[in-house]
Structure 1
Amino acid sequence: MGTVFSRRTAIAAGAAGLATVGFTGVSQAAAAKPPTVTKEYYGRVGGAAVSRYTLDSGHGLRVRILSYGGIIQTLEAPDRHGRAENIVLGFPTLADYVAKNSPEAGGGVYFGALIGRYANRIAHGTFTLDGQTYHVPVNNNGNSLHGGLAGFDKKVWDVTEVPGGIRLSVTSPDGDQGYPGALHATVTYTVDSQNRLSIAYTATTDKPTVVNLTNHTYWNLAGEASGDIYDQKLQINAGRYTPTDTTQIPTGQLAPVQGTPFDFRRPTAIGARIAEDDPQLLTGQGYDHNWVLDSSGSLAVAAKASDPASGRTLTVLTDQPGLQFYSGNFLDGTLVGTSGRTYRQSYGFALETQHFPDSPNHPSFPSTVLRPGQTYRTKTVFALGV
């Protein structure tokens, strides 16, 4: 299986890289102020109580997270003048998330949600593991997307508070959505005085299975529902990406980005080449592809985004081999966000740290197999700055 699930995040190396990407307006005296966590009742889903937690760094970063789906509902961060504003897309009510946040509910957007058991797509909802074929629900162009009809985005997670954040846990029983093995997963959200949101994932199983977890937050660094993100700049530290067929399943090729609209090795406006007559862009009606990160296995910078108007920056660090960049192509003006304003095409972008799509059907891709006695362990950091 390789080292995919046995490696440990290189905290020391990652910390050195993080030192330069936080919000720089924090004095030494203010930095001593610890983050806080507050809890409020937010409603019920299927008889289970849902809570909303607010994680406050004390320095302008404030994140609201639901126990339903582990959803990041809002995230406020300062601009260059120190003014905090919500910069992620979401719905105003719990009922909206239940009714609209997935393909089965008519939306298919997965705003802010935890994704599992398998993030992204599995071709035809079928894979073979140790000689046995498994079938998982098909819900996207004849393929399985983001865990199937009732993935981790629809579960009410158990939550415990930890210093600076919360730890969510859930057990997916053997056979859940067709996946083998009882999978126990935890996801820990924490914030710190440098305005970093860290997400740490773990999972264990009692039978061989496949697993690929991520978070599906949509970002708009100019502010939620402020308009399209075409002028915001993006850099992805990847020289290759995985082209897809017409149903957005990887062909198996690791193609060079050089000379294509997929070359974000230098900061480039998201809209600069999105309308080019490229077959891959036409398939996804924009960007909706996995980039093969240059560095994986230890916490390293995968991507950076910035908004010229507000001065906000977002730096994404991860130990994962892939990053799915989605430019919000299917936001069609039918969904109303937390501010009461309508979301139109490309009003937000997602940067999903992950293993490659359809890895169970591509032996040449990094393995997503998890076996009893092993621990799936990965970490992603979203560092907000100016």
Structure 2
Amino acid sequence: MNDAVTLDNGRLRAVILRRGAAVQDLRLGGTGHPLILGHADRRAYGGHDATYMGQMVGRVANRIGGGRAVIGGRTHALDRNEDGRTTLHGGAGGSGARDWQITGHGTDAVALALTLPDGHMGFPGRLEVALTYRLDGATLEIAISARSDAPTICSFAPHLYFNLSGSPEISDHRLQVPADTYLPVRNGIPTGGPAPVAGTMFDLRDPVPPPEGIDHNLCLAAAPRDPAPMACLAAGGIEMRITSTEPGLQIYDGLGLALEGGLDGRRYGPRAGIALEPQRWPDAVNNAWRAQTDLAPGDSFHALSRFSFRRTARP
């Protein structure tokens, strides 16, 4: 079985791996550098990759405080894979660490599937997941759905690091996010409800350089919605716009990156790329917004995000 599929429609080219359903490479036609960070060696992908490079992370993206969750009236002890205190991106063996099945593909789309068994990483319910990557002109569309046979929680997110200019780090980028509030955190866990971005480094309502040290969720809606504008990132004469159904956008500026063996022989240091992750709000199961991630038998989780690229007049 092939471990990778290359999609190419003449405007975008993407390499999708079975391991972690990761997007290994993404290139705009006529551009000499990749638009994302990736490992050149496919063996670098999987559960030992602390960067979650390009992976589809879940069954619950982001963090769950204390690695505990009350689901279906029972308290479940989850895999605490972050410093022994929190559950990050579904645990050490989450969806980003597993081999997905390729169920179909063509030149511009690939479908993948994954089953996470009941009790996997401590989560209840057998979860059946379907994922499609599709190229539509200069847009990468990511659609994912999931169903469970028991009450569970679910929130998948693509974990791509973007660098549109090919520069060693992202200070030359400009980021805009139409969010009025964000979630303050301590050790990555929300300390309460949304707070206004006004007067803080999280005010991205006008284009600004990515704030140094950001690793926070910006709140764009209180619940999943019809696809709506989420973010705009621009650098090096390339602009990317994100539209998504998801109510939150986790932004991580890659400050902790330090690895060799990147695409085209690159070394990735601090802020070599910025992760923009459409998602449900973090630690939902332990907060007032838990309905965002609750999934009952007979219901379905759905998320759709589109990453659209174009060249601009100015680099």
* TM-score calculated relative to the size of structure 2: 0.94
Residue among 224, 231, 236 paired with 2:172: 231
Cα contact 2:281–2:292 (8 A) shared by 1: no
- 1:318 aligns to 2:277 (yes or no): no
Residue among 231, 255, 264 paired with 2:204: 264
Instruction: Give the corresponding residue for 1:217.
Output: 160
Write out per-residue CA displacement over residues 28-87 of structure 1, whole angstroms, 9 at most, x where no aligned residue. Answer: xxxxxxxxxxxxxxxxxxxxx55211111222x100011111111110114xxx434311
Where does 1:182-193 land on structure 2 (aligned, <5 Å)? 182-193=126-137
Cα contact 2:175–2:208 (8 A) shared by 1: yes
- 1:348 aligns to 2:273 (yes or no): yes
Where does 1:60-79 land on structure 2 (aligned, <5 Å)? 61-78=12-29
Where does 1:150-165 land on structure 2 (aligned, <5 Å)? 150-162=93-105, 164-165=108-109
* TM-score calculated relative to the size of structure 1: 0.77
- 1:83 aligns to 2:17 (yes or no): no
Write out per-residue CA displacement over residues 131-173 of structure 1, whole angstroms, 9 at most, x where no aligned residue. Answer: 2001111111311100101010111111123563011001111
CA distance in 2, matches of 1:65, 1:371: 30
CA distance in 1, matches of 2:292, 2:3: 35
Compare 151-160 and 196-205 and name the one that shifted more.
151-160
Cα contact 1:239–1:294 (8 A) shared by 2: no
| AA of the residue aligned to 2:180 | G
- 1:108 aligns to 2:50 (yes or no): yes
Write out per-residue CA displacement over residues 312-360 of structure 1, whole angstroms, 9 at most, x where no aligned residue. Answer: 111111011100011001113x332122221100000011000011000
| AA of the residue aligned to 1:199 | I
Instruction: Give the corresponding residue for 1:173.
Output: 117
Which aligned segments of 4 or more residues in structure 1 are displaced greater than 2 angstroms? 82-85, 160-164, 363-367
Deviation at 1:253, TM superposition (A): 2.1
Instruction: Give the corresponding residue for 1:240.
Output: 181
Residue among 364, 368, 382 paired with 2:293: 368
Residue among 200, 203, 227 paired with 1:299: 227
CA distance in 1, matches of 2:126, 2:55: 21
Instruction: Give the corresponding residue for 1:249.
Output: 189
Write out per-residue CA displacement over residues 101-137 of structure 1, whole angstroms, 9 at most, x where no aligned residue. Answer: x5xx2x4101100101110000011010232001111
| AA of the residue aligned to 1:343 | Y
- 1:137 aligns to 2:79 (yes or no): yes
Q: 1:131 to 1:97 in 2, by over 3 A?
A: same
Cα contact 1:115–1:151 (8 A) shared by 2: yes
| AA of the residue aligned to 1:75 | L
Secondary structure at the counterpart of residue 45 of structure 2:
helix
Secondary structure at the counterpart of residue 383 of structure 1:
strand
Instruction: Give the corresponding residue for 1:12.
Output: none
Cα contact 1:50–1:68 (8 A) shared by 2: no
Cα contact 2:20–2:45 (8 A) shared by 1: no
| AA of the residue aligned to 2:19 | Y
CA distance in 2, matches of 1:376, 1:181: 13
Secondary structure at the counterpart of residue 33 of structure 2:
strand
Write out per-residue CA displacement over residues 224-257 of structure 1, whole angstroms, 9 at most, x where no aligned residue. Answer: xx31101200001100000001x11001220000
| AA of the residue aligned to 2:218 | W
Secondary structure at the counterpart of residue 268 of structure 1:
coil
Write out per-residue CA displacement over residues 84-105 of structure 1, whole angstroms, 9 at most, x where no aligned residue. Answer: 431111111122224xxx5xx2
CA distance in 2, matches of 1:87, 1:258: 30
Instruction: Give the corresponding residue for 2:216.
Output: 289
CA distance in 1, matches of 2:180, 2:260: 35
Instruction: Give the corresponding residue for 2:9.
Output: 57
Instruction: Give the corresponding residue for 1:6.
Output: none
Q: 1:337 to 1:110 in 2, by over 3 A?
A: same
Structure 2 unaligned spans of 5+ = none
Secondary structure at the counterpart of residue 143 of structure 2:
strand
CA distance in 2, matches of 1:316, 1:203: 22
Cα contact 1:240–1:257 (8 A) shared by 2: yes
Instruction: Give the corresponding residue for 1:41.
Output: none
For this pair of structures, how many residues does the alignment match?
308
CA distance in 2, matches of 1:162, 1:372: 29
